[in-house]
Amino acid sequence: MAKAINYQKKNYYDGKWSKDYEKLLLPLKGMLASKDWPIVAWNNALTYGPIFSENIVNKFSQIKCKTYLIIGTRDTTGPGRAWLKDGVTRKLGQYKKLAKNAQNFIKGSTLIELEGLGHMPHYEDYDVFIKAFTQSLSN
């Protein structure tokens, strides 16, 4: 779990860690220890496959329903960062920039930026998150 803690601490929580965050690792611990791990791993592969193999951004313009993007501006999560080849200088996990690009592709979408929060804004500051979430539901 040390790897998961270090990753989350760096990318989710701005270098900070709270004992409260450890509760969020319980599902991961359970999945890793489960006899069903092969099924979990397969489902993870199906979930992450499109992230790594498809140009998802090109599909954003096909979204026709009302869309709200709620992001923590401090989010730096970068799936696949550990697999970047030497010499690749592209930065992953720039969600403040990525969210604005996504908003431009999704016609009529609304971007709600939660300043100073990371990948888990609903956990870091529930009150700030729920206000934004409720706002999106009431529009």
**Is CATH 3.40.50.11540 the right assignment for the domain spanning 2-138?**
no
Q: How far is CA 8 from CA 12, 16, 76, 78, 99, in A?
A: 5, 9, 10, 11, 20
Structural domain spans, the chain: 2-138
Give the containing element (helix H, strand E) for 4: helix 2-11
- At residue 28, the pLDDT reads 87
pLDDT tens digit sequence for 18-53? 888 889 899 888 988 999 999 999 998 998 888 888
pLDDT tens digit sequence for 87-127? 877 777 888 889 999 999 999 999 999 999 999 999 899 99
